[in-house]
Amino acid sequence: MTGPRLAVSTPVYVILLRAIGPATYKRMGMAQWREASEKAGFVAPETVVNTGNMIGGFNGSAAEAGKSMKSVLHSFGLGENVVPIVRSPALLHRLLNAKGAAHMADR
């Protein structure tokens, strides 16, 4: 399977969807989401099974990627409650390794 490849200079983002559930999948399958995301400017979008998580490139800031993804989600008729949370892998790594993260997991 070949498809678009990320250029070295293309920023990569992790997209996590908030407030998805079984009703979401009736409106938007993962293959449909990837295809619509690609049309919206995301490069080589990949979903993680049916989790509502995606990783892909986008030539713009995280805020611009979030705005574009929100338009993609609305094109499927999803409500305002389905929110894309867009973060760089480096930021997620820093958050997971933050001093308090391990402490909070023990609670």
Q: Do the beta carbons of residue 27 and residue 79 sit within 8 Å?
A: no
Mean pLDDT of 37-58: 91
Mean pLDDT of 8-29: 81
Q: Do the beta carbons of residue 58 and residue 41 sit within 8 Å?
A: yes
- Correct CATH for 12-105 of 3.30.420.40, 3.60.21.10, 3.40.190.10, 3.30.70.1280: 3.30.70.1280
Q: Is 19 helix (H, G, I), strand (E, B) or coil?
A: coil
- Between residues 73 and 93, which one has the greater pLDDT? 73
- Provide the residue ranges of all domains of the chain, joining segments of one domain with +: 12-105
Q: Is 17 helix (H, G, I), strand (E, B) or coil?
A: strand
Residue 81 is classified by DSSP as T
pLDDT value at 105 more than 60? no
DSSP H helices in the chain: 22-27, 30-39, 62-75, 89-96, 99-105
Please report the pLDDT score of residue 42 as a whole number.
Answer: 96
- pTM for the predicted model, two decimal places: 0.79
pLDDT value at 40 more than 80? yes
